[in-house]
Amino acid sequence: MGFGLQPLYHLSEKTCLGVRYEYFKDSDGARSGTTQALQNISIAPAYYLTKSLVSRVEFRADMSDEDVFTDSDGKASGQQLQVAAEMIYSF
C-alpha cells in the first residue's frame, strides 16, 4: 500500500519548485525484500533555460523504519540523503 503527492509551483515564467512526498508500506517484504514502511521527501527547484530546456537540482531524503540503507561508513541506517542535478530537454 502506498501513495504519493507531487505538486509543482510555478514561481515565475522561468522558475518553478517541485515538492514530492511518497509513502509505501511493504507489509510482507515482497517488493523491497524487507518488511518495512518507506517514505521519501524531495524538493526540486528548476530553471527554464529555454522553452525546451530545463535545469533542475533535487534534494531528497529517503527514510525507512528498518535499517535498509548504508551510511558513508558502511553502517546500516534508516535514512539516506541524496542530491541530483539534471538537464531535461522536451521536444
Question: What is the rounded CA–CA span in Å between residue 73 and residue 53?
Answer: 37
| Mean local confidence (pLDDT), 35-41 | 96
Distance (Å, rounded) from C-alpha 67 to C-alpha 77? 4
pTM of the model: 0.84
41-54: per-residue pLDDT in tens?
A: 999 999 999 999 99
> What does the pLDDT read at residue 44?
97
Q: What is the chain's alpha carbon radius of gyration, rounded to the nearest angstrom?
A: 16
Does residue 25 contact residue 40 with C-beta atoms inside 8 Å? no
Q: How far apart are CA 21 and CA 16, in angstroms?
A: 17
Could you report the per-residue pLDDT of 66-88, keeping only the tens digit for each? 999 998 899 999 999 999 999 99
Q: What mean pLDDT is predicted for residues 22-48?
A: 95
